[in-house]
Amino acid sequence: MNRITVVACLICAAMQCKSQLVDRTLAPNPINEGIAKSLTEQIGAGRGDWKTPNSSAYIISRDPFRAIRRGRQIFQRKFQHLDGAENTFYARDGSGDLEKNLGIGAGLADSCSTCHGRPRGSAGFGGDVVTRPDSRDAPHLFGLGLKEMLADEITAELRHRRDVALAEAKRTRTGITRPLTAKGIHYGNITAMPDGTVDTTKVEGVAADLRVRPFSAHGGTISIREFINGAMNNEMGFQCWDPELTSAIDDKARLTTIGGITLDAAEDALEAPPEPDPTKVAEGKQPRNQIATAVVDYLEFYLLNYFKPGLSEQTESVKRGRQTFDKVGCASCHIADLRVDRDRRVADVETVFDPERGNFNRLFSTARPLFQFVDQNDGHPSLKLPMLGSFEVRNLFTDFKSHDLGPNFHERNYDGSLQKQFLTTALWGVGTTPPYGHDGRSSSLTEVILRHGGEAQSARDRFASLSAVERMDVLEFLSSLVLFPPDDTASNLDPGDRSAPGFPQVKHGSIKLTVLFNDPGDIE
């Protein structure tokens, strides 16, 4: 079998698994499968602060790998009605203005992994959220924190260039045109006027406010935290009170989330949490903020630190395919490597092909710490804080710009207009994420490439004119950009034991963050 056939088989096998997890305090079972802690135990002391034991702020700052694992368990938790989840299909009457409330067409999810379950679970092909009449294909979330950081740093650099041009225009009393570049990516030109106005008609690939919004196919959301608040409401019926986000929006102020991103409501249109008032009661029955702020904290920190995709076997065909990918022009938009200047993660995990140490999927992960100890001498465990160093993000393949790829990618909005601009999809993980396109309407890599038009027409045509061998090399290269199930991928934290009875169903190895907990015996 060639690599593409093998990848397809792996996907089919993975679809037999379930990505949602039950709460074993509610559903005990002989093999102790599921989440070890109840939702109440996961919430603990709530948000708290870095001196409040068992609060989210305390655990994130002092026991960060427990916080990541807890966020992962919450992400995969099958929420129940007793947790406050609403069956949003029945809770809404199906009437209203779809232009104002896309949630009318969403819902029916009981877990984050219902839509974002790949590569382990069938969720990736079912439960996709309807945001436009033609739907979409829910994306994977590997490397999400790196994407948030890169987009935020690009935004800061673009806005700095704008502000420098404005200052020069004011000083010289003449219009100043300057190129907009950030991390080597060209976003067109900007003209600053002496009166403080800015001409953005020559800006390319980003909105006039110069904010790169890396989430949603059309580039609609700035931060992981905003995305979580909206998704939990629209897809699961949870209303969450987010005090900092609410306050910042109300006061047009700046805030720094628990994940470390600074949001400025005076400069950006932030997405308000669904419940700004924690005292409100829905229909006289129960408080509407059914999910604790601590839950959002753990989810944000988990997704900030979520592992980036991996690389499968780098054969000669894969290497040739990478060169051909560059030659035909795909890399002009799908830029391979970008550098984060201030990495807010506490660890990095590098996953590569290693048939000697890899078990299920012949992949092996190496975790590397990116945190520093800060001892407060206050009787609490030391703080474990990100070192905030630079980090080269490799094999990402995006330019964080919006492009018009022609009518084959256009989508109808509910008001009848066409959505023509979409963010360049990051290709890492593309080898294990069919179907393709933001809408999932392309069944293969070949079909989604040939679907390109508009700004990518020339690159598409060059791919179409390749020989059969050259095209197969490109597909082999793309198929080597893979996702992996962290709990089934051997690593330096848990390499597995091939001599163990029952292997590989047991002792197959994993990215076992538990060994990094302050108390590894207290599992999540």
Could you count the other beta carbons within 10 Å of the beta carbon of residue 373? Answer: 9
Answer whether residue 218 is part of any domain. no
Residues 16 and 66 in one domain: yes
pLDDT confidence of residue 236: 79
Mean pLDDT of all residues in 444-454: 98
- What phi and psi values does residue 182 have, to the nearest 5 degrees? -150, 130
Task: Say if residue 83's pLDDT is above 80.
Answer: no
pLDDT digits (tens, 9 = 90+) for 93-138: 556 676 666 666 555 677 787 777 655 543 333 333 333 334 456 7
Residues 117 and 251 in one domain: yes
Tokens coding 250: 């109300």
Answer whether residue 239 is part of any domain. yes
pLDDT confidence of residue 119: 58
Cβ-contact 476, 313 below 8 angstroms: no
Residues 6 or more apart in contact with residue 323 via CB below 8 angstroms: none
Task: Say if residue 10's pLDDT is above 50.
Answer: no
Specify the DSSP class assigned to residue 487: G
Could you count the other beta carbons within 10 Å of the beta carbon of residue 38? Answer: 13
Residues 335 and 274 in one domain: no
Residues 296 and 318 in one domain: no
**What CA–CA distance (Å, rounded) separates 254 from 245?**
9
Task: Please tell me whether the overall predicted TM-score, pTM, comes out greater than 0.75 for this model.
Answer: yes
Which of 256, 224, 229, 211 has its CA nearest to residue 145?
Answer: 224
Task: Say if residue 380's pLDDT is above 80.
Answer: yes
Cβ-contact 436, 452 below 8 angstroms: no
pLDDT digits (tens, 9 = 90+) for 455-475: 999 999 999 999 999 999 999
Mean pLDDT of the chain: 88
**Structural domains of the chain, count:** 2
Residues 294 and 434 in one domain: no
Residues 447 and 371 in one domain: yes
**Residue span of the structural domain in which 49 resides:** 3-138+223-304
Residues 289 and 325 in one domain: no
Residues 295 and 431 in one domain: no
Residues 134 and 278 in one domain: yes
- Residue 368 burial (10 A CB sphere; 0-12, 13-18, 19+): exposed
